[in-house]
A and B are shown apart, each in its own frame.
Chain A
Amino acid sequence: MKRLINLIVNNKAYEIAVAPNRTLTQILREDLNLLGTKEGCGIGDCGACTVILNGRPVNSCLVLAVQANGCNIQTIEGVADGNNLHPIQEAFVEYGAIQCGFCTPGMVLSAKSLLEKNPKPTEMEIREAISGNLCRCTGYQKIVEAIQAASKKMKKK
């Protein structure tokens, strides 16, 4: 039995009919075509599916779409302002924080929520904040450096 739900995704309102057993990852990818949200494990272990749900980064593979009814969601597609990258994205590009890129959307979103709450995080706080986002490629160092650089950049603005 499908249910009608309302979502605000990247500042756009949607009304969608969803079956209760579909996850937020599925709805974003399959119904809204927001394919930047990835699925690496489906069970909360990797963070590739990270989205910001009502201000908090979560594993969208473990959220039912119906649970998100009425919520405000930000996906990686909503981070840049048109063609202008967000300072975190700029820093990821500049500092080499990206290799295969599969973890990148989740990393950027975790970093973004961190810097919104804590604009001047320490290295440990950064590592802690992205500890639910696995990256097999980079060894994390350049991701951490990028987030540090973004924090500095954003402070200046």
Chain B
Amino acid sequence: MKDFSVINKRLPRVDAWSKVTGEARYAADLSMPNMLYAVLFQSPLAHAKILNIDTSAAKKIVGVKDIVTYKEAGTIRYGVSPARYDETMFCYDKVRYVGDEIAAVAAIDFETAMEAASLIKVDYEELPFYLNVFDAIKEGAVPIHDDYPNNIGAEVHQEFGNVEDAFKECDYIRTDRFVNKKQDGGFLEPQACLAYYDMNGNLTLYTSTQTPHYVQRTVSMVLNIPIGKVRVVKPYVGGGFGPKASANTIELAASLLSMRTGRPVKMVMNREQVFMHSRGRHQFYHELTTGVKKDGTIHALKNTCYLDGGAYSSFGIATVYYAGSLLGAPYRLPNMKYDGYRVYTNKPACGAQRGHGGVAARAAWEQQLDIIAGELGIDPIEFRLKNVREKGEVTCNDFNLSSFGMKECLEAIRDRSDWKNKKGKLPKGKGIGVACGFFVSGAGYPIYRSETFHSTAMIKLSEDGGTVELYTAAAEIGQGSDTVLTMMAAEALGVRYEDVKIYSGDTDFGVDLGAYSSRQTLMSGHAVKQAAEDVKRQVLEVLSKRLNIPVEDMDIKDGYIVFKKGPVDFSGIRSYYIKEHRGWAEQPSDDRLTFKEAARIAYIERGTIVSTGAYKPGELGGKYKGATVGTSPAYGCSAQIVEVTVDMETGKVTVDKMTDAHDCGFAINRTNVEGQMQGSLSMGLGEALFEEVKFDEKGRVANPTFGEYRIPTALDMPNVNTIIIESDEPNGPFGAKEVGEGAIMPTIPAILNAIYDAVGVRIDELPVTSERLYNAIKEKERKK
């Protein structure tokens, strides 16, 4: 193990003090003098033509400053992927789900804006609406978007190897179906923003987002403002998990209203609006057919999936690819076929959520593999160990597993959970289950076609030499990117953690595609590391000249200059520095030359010391259609064992224990890695047991509250035996790769497999509510 000073440690987060004292400011905490408050007017119907919008009564309310509809906003289409720009700021021809945005009202306070919004009148002509994938694709269904007459917004057909032939070579083949439910991000901070278009024609948008860069582009395009005049600033963000990874209507509306009124405009969603805006996990209907050989070799997989996409595409094109492409990868699977269909329905749009596209598929398949292992009489861990890939292998769809500690993950959880003495041996009602996970470490390509760098970074040394200022547009949303980027900068430059000051989440600081697809540690990390190394070089160059020592004979570590070939006389620099700081309390007195002194000299010599770094992935595999979704510079993997207790009479599942191992390449901050793992597991537990966005017969969200949409409480989530595996990723900075999303992958199937071990039933529909499990147990008893 290399000797690191900063990284691989358990340092506190850079923002911990602000957050723990309540000082941290989130978007809803911001205000400006003369600010207006705006609210949305949203559709009460799931699908209808708009015949007329009447805002006259609303305009008459004292205190209302502006009301905008499509007439004022225009109808420029936007979305996530340019190939599917299917949204406009406000609806103009029709509404497509309950909550679709029709107008926004700006007033002197929220109360006035709400009152005015309630007076907007819209005449509709109701259209048939579809709350289910299979209704939406029926012959004769009314298209939700005219461009997609059969309501299939995106379709994928991929085959690697030859599945039909491969099945002929299999000894055992089985088909299973699986369905999850629409899941909500469940982040605690509702979206909020504050937009200010100033008299100089510059728009500044403070917003709760994961992707300042994409928001900047969308605002610029939709409002037709030069991109250089749009600055998106991300304050502290109270979680995102995917749904905050693209521009939303309040960002656009607040910007438009500010342009029109010349005043700052603030908008805040309430919890119900968060549920209506959604962009959370799709509902996936998977049918999987897997063929294996007698000895347990996995040989072929056929995967068909229908995705309930909701009214707009959002991230959906990527989702429909991910639901196929990620599945086979952790195993030596030579033949894989995938047919995916993303269907429009009259529900809130689904998008990316932690484990984008892959969570339901993984749950379905890992459960099926468990069944298969059982049928073959092979221990499920042995079965997996037999099939898992290792470092250096390339999957049938061309993913290059440049590092891959899956085997180590499986062995670690097996050895640390007493698996051998528990599997199949626990009393009835208690069970243990295992599953694996896999995820990309950064999307290989931006969401729009471009050669752009994915991350840039800039470092400036403060002119006094004492502080390293790191500028990045990367988005800290709670996952800890500010902390790990600061640590990487400190390590690469050779200074202490506390010497680096990070400024992030601001589009004026550069380009960073943002916090999604588990990309920032790897990609922003590379850019930061590069910039830091360049600063180091610059400082050493100046020293080299001053001291007449080759750069190679020096280094910087822990804030000091290291002279590799023995002591060097730097008294000239020292006395210069001391002269400059006559009267100051702190003067360097050490017998070592400090970085501060060296950096000061570098400034005196060269002016402000600035460096930049930029990263984009190198050549990635895959020349087939859709290879841009799933290929990544690196892949994370994980394995998990879950122990449950099932109340046989009520069907209630309690998760007692979780043992989780994740290969994150190299842990920049060990505490943060564990935090990502534990948080992922808790979200997985919620999706497995409780979470489901429900709709009433009119298409309204039936449970738009945290009371009826249940995320786990502290009493539902057990402690996790958290094991970090480090496989040293060659394509990652310091060997690091993802942990933020991949960690959720094994949780659901491990719970399902544990439930089977406990009560002998297989559940193919989430969430496993007490009632669902009770019914399955009864069904099984009846069949006996």
Contact = CB atoms under 8 A, between A and B. Distances in A.
Given A131-B713, A136-B679, A40 B22 contact: no
A143 B19 CA distance: 14
A139 B29 CA distance: 25
Nearest to B480: A99
B13 A141 contact: no
A43 B24 CA distance: 23
Nearest to B28: A39
B44 interface: no
Interface stretch (B233-241, B574-582, B757-765): B233-241
B271 A40 contact: yes
B197 to A, nearest CB: 24
A34 B25 CA distance: 11
B237 to A, nearest CB: 6
A134 B24 CA distance: 19
Contact of A35 (B29, B680, B715): B29
A24 interface: no
Contact of A100 (B20, B271, B477): B477
Contact of B239 (A100, A131, A142): A100
Contact of A101 (B271, B478, B683, B720): B478
A137 B239 contact: yes
B585 interface: no
Interface in A121-143: 126-128, 130-143
A74 B240 CA distance: 29
* Chain A interface bracket (under 10, 10 to 19, 20 to 34, 35 or more): 35 or more
Contacts of B1: none
B271 A128 contact: no
Interface in A102-129: 102-105, 108, 126-128
Contacts of B706: 40-41, 45-46, 134
Given A46-B188, A131-B713, A144-B714, A93 B478 contact: no
Interface string A68-111: 00000001110110000100010011111011111111001000
Given A92-B16, A103-B188, A75 B22 contact: yes
Interface stretch (B618-626, B634-642, B668-676): B668-676
Interface string A23-54: 00000010000111111111111101000000
A38 B674 contact: no
Contacts of B678: 138-142
B479 interface: yes
Interface secondary structure of B, over-half rule:
loop
Given A35-B25, A40-B189, A41-B706, A98 B19 contact: yes
Contacts of B237: 100
- Most interface-central of A48, A95, A102, A143 (chain B CB within 10 A): A102
B705 A40 contact: no
B24 A131 contact: no
Contacts of A104: 19-20, 22
A85 B12 CA distance: 14
Given A136-B239, A141-B678, A38 B25 contact: no
Contacts of A37: 22
Interface string B666-708: 0000011011001111110000000000000000000001110
A102 B238 contact: yes
Contacts of B200: none
Contacts of B679: 99, 136-139
A142 B675 contact: yes
A138 B239 CA distance: 11
B33 to A, nearest CB: 14
A36 B23 contact: yes
B19 A101 contact: yes
Contacts of A131: 713-715
Nearest to B12: A93
B571 interface: no
A100 B238 contact: yes
Nearest to B705: A45
A141 to B, nearest CB: 5
Contact of B236 (A79, A100, A105): A100
A33 to B, nearest CB: 9
Nearest to B673: A96
A116 B100 CA distance: 48
A102 B239 contact: yes
A36 B478 contact: no
Given A40-B188, A136-B188, A96 B671 contact: yes
Nearest to A77: B22
B16 A93 contact: yes
A28 B185 CA distance: 28
A35 B22 contact: yes
A140 B15 CA distance: 19
A84 B20 CA distance: 12
B16 A98 contact: yes
Interface string B238-279: 110100000000000000000000000000001100000000
B105 interface: no
B675 A101 contact: no
A127 B713 CA distance: 8
A98 B480 CA distance: 9
A144 B715 CA distance: 11
Interface in B1-54: 10, 12-13, 15-26, 28-29
A96 B674 contact: yes
Interface string B644-676: 000000000000000000000000000110110
B195 to A, nearest CB: 19
Contacts of B238: 38, 40, 100-102
Contacts of A45: 271, 705-707
Contacts of B15: 98, 101
B186 interface: yes
A85 B713 contact: no
A46 B186 CA distance: 11
Contacts of B459: none
B175 interface: no
A106 B671 CA distance: 22
B682 A139 contact: yes
A37 B674 CA distance: 27
A129 to B, nearest CB: 8
Interface in B179-212: 185-190
Nearest to A145: B719
A11 to B, nearest CB: 16
Contacts of A101: 15, 18-20, 24, 236, 238, 478
A134 to B, nearest CB: 6
A96 B707 contact: no
A96 B672 contact: yes
B304 to A, nearest CB: 32
B311 interface: no
Contacts of A77: 21-22
Contact of B714 (A42, A96, A108, A143): A143
B674 A134 contact: no
A38 B208 CA distance: 14
A98 B13 contact: yes
A96 B13 contact: yes
A140 B718 CA distance: 9
B35 to A, nearest CB: 12
B478 A99 contact: yes
11 contacts: A38-B188, A40-B271, A41-B271, A45-B706, A93-B16, A100-B237, A101-B15, A131-B714, A137-B478, A137-B679, A144-B714
Given A43-B705, A141-B678, 15 more contacts: A29-B29, A42-B270, A46-B188, A80-B21, A93-B12, A98-B16, A99-B480, A101-B18, A101-B478, A103-B188, A127-B714, A128-B714, A134-B706, A137-B478, A139-B675
Interface of B: 10, 12-13, 15-26, 28-29, 185-190, 236-239, 241, 270-271, 477-480, 671-672, 674-675, 678-683, 705-707, 711, 713-715, 717, 719-720, 722
Interface of A: 29, 34-46, 48, 75-77, 79-80, 85, 89, 92-96, 98-105, 108, 126-128, 130-144
Rank and list the top 6 A-B pairs by shortest CB-CB distance, nearest first.
A36-B22, A100-B478, A102-B238, A101-B19, A76-B22, A139-B678
